[in-house]
Amino acid sequence: MTALELIRIISQVLFIGLFAVVLRHALRERTRASANTALLFGSIAAVLALSRVADWTGFDGHPAYSGIVIALLALAPFAMVRLVDDFSDSPRAVQVGGLAGFLIV
């Protein structure tokens, strides 16, 4: 294992751990902002976890895997738009555009 691979693994584990903390907070708080934060971090953490599992199993070339990863990556900007709306009043068109962009991808 190279130093670069070790740093990559550590950063991925830390990010997934951060998602676990955010999810725990979202389950306690039950607010829209905490749910959207969990959605944002969860989509990215799921991509990291799926990529690690796909590397171990050799499943990374499968079309279904690619579709799931693309959908999860498209979910992150949509969750970010929702999260911004939680803290400021964004125009409704931004919300609709974010949803449309997610559905198109």
**Does the structure show a pLDDT above 80 at 34?**
yes
User: How many whole angstroms separate alpha carbon 105 and alpha carbon 97?
Assistant: 12
**Does the structure show a pLDDT above 90 at 35?**
yes
Helices (H) and strands (E) in the chain, counts: 4, 0
Average pLDDT (95-101) is: 83
pLDDT of residue 24: 97
- pLDDT per position as a tens digit, 44-96: 999 999 988 888 888 777 788 888 999 999 999 999 999 998 888 888 888 88
